[in-house]
Amino acid sequence: MTRILDANTVFSGQEPKFSIELSKLQMIWALNWYSQNKTNKDAEKYVADYFKKKLKLDIGALVKDCNSTFAYLCRIVYNGGLLSVKDQVWFDNEVKQIEDRLKVKKLKLLELPLLVMLFQFKIESVKRLRNALESWRDN
């Protein structure tokens, strides 16, 4: 027999695991359990794990923008829980919003090298124009 040393685990039980669609009562119980026993760092890890392992996306710093309810739902879904239709629609919308923000972030990263190249081209154009004006002035 193993001894349980964590007081929270003794009083509130182990992490909830579901393999069926969660009823409202089960959802409330699971969210309360996570809220009581897990920290924001845990919540960030749950979101990152869900996106990395389930969706094969690395969302990086966007993890910090997610609320804890979404993070706990990521954990519940990752562990095999099925959400009700209403909850699944909300969850899918949240996932889509994060994916959209990730696309915008990637586009901005792609735009940066283009801006650098544009500025370099402008600098080279100004240098050529200056050299042409100096040679015209000298003649």
Q: What is the pTM of this model?
A: 0.67
φ and ψ of 82, to 5 deg: -110, 130
Show Cβ contacts of residue 58 under 8 Å, excluding neighbours closer than 6 positions: 48, 51, 52
Average pLDDT, the chain: 82
For residues 139 and 95, which has the higher predicted lDDT (pLDDT)?
A: 95
Can you tell me the mean pLDDT for 70-82? 92
Can you tell me the mean pLDDT for 49-70? 86
Q: pLDDT tens digits for 19-47?
A: 888 999 999 999 999 999 999 999 999 99
Flag whether pLDDT at 109 surpasses 60: no
